[in-house]
Structure 1
Amino acid sequence: MINPSTGQARGNPLRALVTPLLRPSADHTPLLAQASRRWVRYLPYVMALAAISSLLPSSINVLSHDYGLNTGLAAALSVAQTAPLLLAPSRPLPAWWMIGVTDLLTSLLILTTGHTSSVWPWPATGLVGYLLLMLPLALRETRRTLVSVWLVTAAASLALSLMGSVRDFGGDNSLLAIALTGAVLLLGGALRERAEARRLLTEQEHISEAERERRTLLEERARIARELHDVVAHHMSVIAVQAASAPYRISGVPAEAAEEFTAIAGSARESLAEMRRLLGVLRSEESAAEKAPQPGVEQLAQLVETVGRAGVPAELTVAPELAEGVPQAVGLSAYRIVQEALANVVRHAPGARTWVSLATDGPALLVTVVNAPPPERTESLEASAEGTGQGLVGMRERVRLVDGRLDTGPLPDGGFKVAAVLPLDAPRETPA
């Protein structure tokens, strides 16, 4: 079959054999580079230098005396056979090309000499250097590459053995070279795959640990949600029931007081419903699981009215162009900011006159909540005058979510101001 993208035959055995040899590993990190000790990181290069130091003079002596090569030529071939071992820790496949071609050339040159008393086709020193190269090659390259290296080695050994069969050499070590090369490649490949399996197992353990931590976090959130519901919901339910039943349990309650009790019961039920919705989010795995409709600019009038019944005279001003077209995320942020600002007025400045305004400032929504100083002899409802500061943190978080700006601080006359600028071009969300 023909590959339409390359125009070459698929499944060509020669191509399948040569292709892995032409594509060395892209990872050039030296062997043992991740070791914590410095001397261990340098160990592969020290071993390579030791091998070169021992093999180089021995190879020159063997090639010149046992095989009859010229001393200069023997020295050049020996350097070419041993020096690439320095590349073995980081680039073993290019080193294999250099050493393999040199070993093949050496054997062909030996064939031209008249010395036949030594073994053929691989001199002992060259075979030792070749086997030393096989270990870092097996630790770095893929299984397919190792198979290609072994097949090329076997083919070259058998071909040279056949070429030297017409000569009376002292011995044939081609089968020994094939067996030893295969054994070293098999051992190195097994070590590499074992190390890879351990690495994957370690990664899987880390993933499992992260999942356990995540599951523990969700369980803790669910436990907190249950505790909040048990504690807060009980008291809120009691408040709602007592406020709703007060006009019937107490005789002679004025109409204004009965209306006030009704408002208190309604506020308690609304707070209880909102708390349950938030606890549902806390129980869920993702905060996006919330399904109930969220408040927006349209509910601000009801919010201001509720605060007014709590004893804080508040006025709301909304620009006519904001009646429609406010993105849901911006409307929700505006509502929460106003809600928290008014709650702070109720807690820290009860009875203070308050003004809430929403207007457009170019492509942004300007939300302003300003309260006057509280009336004289009015005490804060908070035990600490400074409060916890969580309300302002929540406002800043709301503003940050829509890429807006927040400005808060006291006024010279003793009042307080909250001003937020919320971009109106925030991404629109699909209504829940």
Structure 2
Amino acid sequence: MPKASRHLRPHIPHALTALLTLILLPVTATALKNDYGVHPGLALVYAALETAPLVLAVRKPLLAWAITFVAGTACALTLTPGPPHANAVWPWPPALLIAYLPLLFLLGLRCRPRTMLVAWAAYTATSYGFETAAPERSNGAWLIVTLFGGTLLLLGWALQRTKRAQRALDEQATINEAERARRTLLEERARIARELHDVVAHHMSVITVQADSAPYRLAGLPPEAAEEFGTIAATARESLSEMRRLLGVLRSEDAGQGGGERTPQPGVDRIGQLVEATVRAGQPVELALDKDAAPESLPQAVDLSAYRIVQEALANAVRHAPGADTRVSVTADDEGLTVLVVNAPAGRPHVPLETTGTGHGLVGMRERVRLVGGTLDTGPLPDGGFRVAARLLYAAAPETLTEPTAKEAPAA
């Protein structure tokens, strides 16, 4: 829907009720003066009180109905005993009967069922009372509003329930999306925690072995130093045990899946295989891998994070821009590793494997970059492509993972 139409749409009901008021007010005043013999000034007052509340009905339908109903009842009580024309409608003028119908419909849209029933019953009972008091003056026109107005009440009530149900569904969908995003974040953190265990456990094991073997490798070691090495080994073993117990909670759901988490974790040396698999899937990928980015010279957290970021970026390119030219660059310097993945827009008509993205993959990228104290820059390019640039620092200590504060951009 065009922006102008969306802006005007909320004002349409107000415009319609205002237009109806402008039509009914002079018609009602003229009919009361000519057909019912009401004084012109009093006829204008009654006409205004019976029709002007339509302007309020969009926001406050119950108040508008009450004003119109009370004014109409007072007008009916003051009409001359016998209308000059036999075709004149009594007790309610025709314009007032017309005004009641949108009022009842708006009551159905806004009010509770009990309120709607009271309004309908009050009109019906009052009309029947006038009918009983002077049956010779009534032609039963009030029954039209009783029947048709009751139908409009039910229609408005049905639309009200439908709108509430749709609002509840929209709220639930928003909650579900937030839960999915949170679950994805927690799953990614759990995977990072498992991978951290593999990295830290290796180094702690080396410390334990070195501390245990120090008295045998170093001749003439003083007893105090040997005791200190024993304390270091015992502390390292205790730390490993505590870490494994904590990690057992994370791995409990994967216990029956073959122990895949115990396999060696991938790193920069596996990026070439990852690119080859992507090329076989039909995505042209060009790889530029710095020879200084050798796995043996990289911290394990940086090594693993670089692989996972390239993996997610290539997966996004395949999903959202199939067949587009993609470049992967991994360069190293004295301070850290720079990972750059850029995909161009597809050069031929294509149907994306996914037309929408939740950005959940970028959540995992950002968590991994935070782990090593780096930075992540993602976003669309002017030519329609997408860019993922990550800077992973060697010396930064892993920080405690916290909830991301920046809104993730949609995946490429």
TM-score with structure 2 setting the length:
0.55
> Does residue 215 in structure 1 map to residue 215 in structure 2?
no
Distance 1:90 1:252 in 2: 93
Distance 2:200 2:173 in 1: 40
Residue 137 (structure 1) aligns with: 107
SS in 2 for 1:112: coil
Letter of the 1:180 counterpart: F
Distance 2:397 2:63 in 1: 65
Residue 362 (structure 1) aligns with: none
> Does residue 388 in structure 1 map to residue 396 in structure 2?
yes
Structure 1 residues 245 and 89 mapped into 2: Cα distance closer, same or farther (>3 Å)?
A: same
Letter of the 2:179 counterpart: E
> Does residue 57 in structure 1 map to residue 26 in structure 2?
yes
Residue 261 (structure 1) aligns with: 229
Distance 1:36 1:207 in 2: 29
Which residue of 219, 232, 240 maps to 2:200?
Answer: 232
Deviation of residue 182 (structure 1)?
A: 0.4
SS in 1 for 2:92: coil
SS in 1 for 2:59: coil
Which residue of 61, 81, 92 maps to 1:122?
Answer: 92
Which residue of 93, 108, 124 maps to 2:62?
Answer: 93
SS in 1 for 2:79: helix
CA shift digits 1:139-180 (9 cap, x unpaired): 221111111111111111211221221x254x2112212002
> Does residue 107 in structure 1 map to residue 76 in structure 2?
yes
Whichever of the two has the greater Rg, that structure is 1
8 A Cα contact 2:57 2:103, kept in partner: yes
Deviation of residue 82 (structure 1)?
A: 1.0
Distance 1:237 1:226 in 2: 16
Structure 1 residues 168 and 142 mapped into 2: Cα distance closer, same or farther (>3 Å)?
A: closer
Residue 12 (structure 1) aligns with: none
SS in 1 for 2:229: helix
Distance 1:205 1:220 in 2: 22
Which residue of 126, 131, 139 maps to 1:161?
Answer: 131
8 A Cα contact 1:244 1:265, kept in partner: yes
Instruction: Point out where structure 1 has 5 or more consecutive residues left out of the alignment.
Output: 1-34, 285-385, 398-432
CA shift digits 1:250-278 (9 cap, x unpaired): 48453445334323313422443454576
8 A Cα contact 2:91 2:130, kept in partner: yes
User: Percent identity between the aligned chains?
Assistant: 46
8 A Cα contact 1:120 1:164, kept in partner: no
Distance 2:61 2:12 in 1: 16
Structure 1 residues 145 and 238 mapped into 2: Cα distance closer, same or farther (>3 Å)?
A: same
Distance 1:168 1:387 in 2: 98
Structure 1 residues 144 and 235 mapped into 2: Cα distance closer, same or farther (>3 Å)?
A: same
8 A Cα contact 1:107 1:121, kept in partner: yes
Distance 2:65 2:186 in 1: 55
Distance 1:239 1:36 in 2: 70
SS in 2 for 1:120: coil
Residue 45 (structure 2) aligns with: 76
8 A Cα contact 1:68 1:113, kept in partner: no
Structure 1 residues 36 and 390 mapped into 2: Cα distance closer, same or farther (>3 Å)?
A: farther
> Does residue 151 in structure 1 map to residue 121 in structure 2?
yes
Letter of the 2:92 counterpart: W
8 A Cα contact 1:157 1:178, kept in partner: no
Deviation of residue 184 (structure 1)?
A: 1.2
Residue 206 (structure 1) aligns with: 174
CA shift digits 1:37-68 (9 cap, x unpaired): 43223323222221111101111222222223
SS in 2 for 1:172: coil
Which residue of 27, 44, 48 maps to 2:17?
Answer: 48
Deviation of residue 202 (structure 1)?
A: 0.7
Deviation of residue 280 (structure 1)?
A: 7.0
Deviation of residue 127 (structure 1)?
A: 0.6
SS in 2 for 1:233: helix
8 A Cα contact 2:29 2:44, kept in partner: yes
Deviation of residue 77 (structure 1)?
A: 1.0
CA shift digits 1:342-396 (9 cap, x unpaired): xxxxxxxxxxxxxxxxxxxxxxxxxxxxxxxxxxxxxxxxxxxx953778x99xx
Structure 1 residues 104 and 54 mapped into 2: Cα distance closer, same or farther (>3 Å)?
A: same
Letter of the 2:99 counterpart: G
CA shift digits 1:379-424 (9 cap, x unpaired): xxxxxxx953778x99xx9xxxxxxxxxxxxxxxxxxxxxxxxxxx
Deviation of residue 137 (structure 1)?
A: 2.1
Deviation of residue 99 (structure 1)?
A: 0.2
Distance 2:29 2:60 in 1: 25
8 A Cα contact 1:225 1:283, kept in partner: no
Deviation of residue 197 (structure 1)?
A: 0.7
Report matched runs for 1:299-314 at 5 Å.
none
Distance 1:69 1:119 in 2: 14
Letter of the 1:214 counterpart: R
